[in-house]
Amino acid sequence: MFEGEEQQGKGNAMVVILIGPPGSGKSTFCEEVMRFSTRPWVRICQDNIANGKAGSKAQCIKSATAALNDGKSVFIDRCNLDREQRAEFVKLGSPKIDIHAVVLDLPARLCISRSVKRTGHEGNLQGGRAAAVVNKMLQNKEFPKLTEGFTRITFCQNETEVQDAINTYSALGPLESLSQGVFGQKKSDAKVQLGIMKFFKKSGTAESGNVGSVATSDQNSASLEKTEDKGSCSKAAVSFSDNAVTEINEHKDQMKGMVKDASASLGDAPTLAFPSISTSDFQFNHEKASDIIIEKVEEFLDKIGNARLVFVDLTHRSKILTLVKEKASKRNIDPNKFFTFVGDITQLYSQGGLRCNVIANAANWRLKPGGGGVNAAIFSAAGAALEVATKEQANTLLPGRALVVSLPSNSPLFGKEGVTHVIHVLGPNMNPQRPNCLKNDYATGCKILRDAYTSLFEGFVSIVRKLPPGSNDNLGSKQSEIQIRNETASKNSEQKFRRDDDDHESDRTKKYKGSHVETKISNSSVGKTIQSGEKFDRTATKAWGSWAQALYHIAKQPEKHKEVVLEMSDDIVVLNDLYPKARKHLLVLTRLEGLEQLADAREEHLPLLRKMHDVGLKWTETLLQEDTSLIFRIGYHSAPSMRQLHLHVISQDFNSKHLKKKQHWNSFTTAFFRDSVDVMEEVSSHGKAKLEDDEKLLSMELRCHRCRSAHPNIPRLKSHITNCNAPFPANLLQKGRLVSAPNNTIISP
């Protein structure tokens, strides 16, 4: 399902009316869903309805009716480009049959190209004739509206969104349904109409604009429910009774007053509005999710001072919202600091009068626009500025992590809604159609979801603590918000660093396939929740790129990587580095979950650090038996490029074609490289290791690691170190920081 949607278990049959010209992919859409779905589907196509030959609309309706009576759901595979064409199929709807539209609004040029090139089409629409037909059809295109009788409309403007829609319907089980409304519509003048709000616009009781997203405080949802006709509410095409109309009008002023009261009670205090994480697209159990939300809200309320947390969903019929509201009430959580709210999270102020300076996005792992629900809505409302600002910090996001993004002032979401920050957060996945599915492993899933809300709320706390004095009274002031944003951007820019390997750039986006493991560093892998005024803190959340997961996957299941692994036990794995920076370059990798980098190491990890060191020493002995001229150093990078703590065992010849940049050299020959003996001593004495400022170290001039002479470039440096026999610096000759064969005297002064 699209992110941000609510899955409901009422088990209605569906009629999905596909809308699009020839070549838009309607037949392919049906075939893909039917191939993977566990739900029984029937495809109705007028081109072959009469025993494989073209037939009539009446035959299509008859076949669709028969399939629905048999308990199956139906795809209507026709162009359906205007309201009249769709009308008869929409009438198939009932309280037990949902009517959906999937609009394949792909570029005309693409549709024409496909139609012209294809062969063997069921309706024989191909070749040169197809171009004229497609062009003519598109001139009369009429987008569907909920007022026609649809309960759900999904717009797809590109192939990625088409695939997301395919995944949404493929994932539906026989007893599942999708939330109502319009998803994916990007046109600025489009009117999204949901449920009861359809009537408000017609009767003049709602404000103008995107009335489908009008925010109404959840505190008045009970009043709304009293005024709705239960049957007609579920179908936008069914009119409200006269009695219901009268009651709604009577409650009009009451509703507006409640929204005003909710906004007044909130005031201008720093406020985070957040949706449910993982219960929609990622199909996480609602009961378990609501328990975790309440648990984490209680944990953080004391940490946010006078700030507020607001749980938001688009409809008061949302199951997760209802559960959270009930559980918050039972736990006596202060309603002035945490409450639920019904509305579009991108229009809480303009449509609901609720000012929230921070909103959370239920993001996808790519941190990209697309799909539907919350993620699509936030990226669309924020404009290109959010995507650019996000990309500056990270390209990917791991489950359980959050990424704080300061929203530029040129974003419409900043100017219109007063949103200064967006916090992207990714929870666990229980949907087999999505990456990293946990396959109902709720022990792991609950841990990840707790981590996700912890990261989200910690990100909000960091924003609250960096607000300047008096910001509560001036939160709406663009001047103070811009100041915060500029300070944050300035601080973050000082904290960025880059270490990469240009000759293997393309490998970063590929799945791990090689026989060894890469050790590279990229600024795209750094995504920390760092705000203005913070010092560089490597304990902050880090988003690892997909390419940086290789070590983690090997640590989890080394038996699946026997061609790579040199040694494995319950605690560690040993393997060669894929792009070694010396003649011999090994990695000793911990298998402990959650120990991802040196910044995570604490006193309780000391026995493991000692074991990793001992294993490293054992391998140096083995390698020294093969070549007694080698000299080794054993240690960690202050800020690693790959997930899962790993110890480098590297020979000091640095004779490798992969060592070709200043950052490569300095990552192993400056204080950025932390010797294992020092790390163990620091963790034992101080509870954690000292981490150096990597940006300055990695950009230092090139100096020989023996004689410390300076060199202008890597080729000149390599030429020098090949012949340099100077003793190593005195500090490396102490505490066993260098390891060599017993008879090797070259490391002595």
- Catalytically active residues, by annotation: 646
CB-hemisphere CA count at 13 Å for 40?
A: 10
Question: For 178-228, what is the HEC assignment?
Answer: CCCEEECCCCCCCCCCCCCHHHHHHHCCCCCCCHHHCCEEHHHHHHHHHHC
Residue carrying structure tokens 């009695």: 243
Q: At what angle do helices 26-36 and 159-170 cross, to 10 degrees?
A: 40
Q: Please, which residues have CB within 8 angstroms of residue 325's CB and are 6 or more apart in sequence?
A: 218, 311, 340
Query: Cα–Cα distance between 634 and 609 in angstroms, integer?
Result: 12
**In which element (H, E) is residue 634 found?**
strand 631-637
- Contact present, 369 and 398 (Cβ < 8 Å): no
Q: Is 243 helix (H, G, I), strand (E, B) or coil?
A: helix
- Contact present, 579 and 587 (Cβ < 8 Å): no
Query: Cα–Cα distance between 262 and 216 in angstroms, integer?
Result: 9
Q: Please, which residues have CB within 8 angstroms of residue 622's CB and are 6 or more apart in sequence?
A: none
What DSSP letter does each residue of 52-117 carry, written as one string? Answer: TB---HHHHHHHHHHHHHTT-EEEEES---SHHHHHHHHTT-BTTEEEEEEEE---HHHHHHHHHH
Let me know the angle formed at the C-alpha of 445 by 444 and 448, rounded to the nearest 5 degrees: 90
Beta bridge pairs of residue 568: 573
Q: Please, which residues have CB within 8 angstroms of residue 219's CB and are 6 or more apart in sequence?
A: 258, 261, 262, 339
What DSSP letter does each residue of 435-476 carry, written as one string? Answer: TTB-TT-HHHHHHHHHHHHHHHHHHHHHHHHHSPTTTTTSTT
Residue 118: CB atoms within 10 A of its CB come to: 14
Tokens found for residue 172: 């539906």
> Taking the mean position of all CA atoms in its chain, how far away is CA 382?
16
Q: Please, which residues have CB within 8 angstroms of residue 648's CB and are 6 or more apart in sequence?
A: 519, 577, 585, 586, 587, 633, 634, 635, 636, 637, 668, 673
Residue carrying structure tokens 């579920």: 234
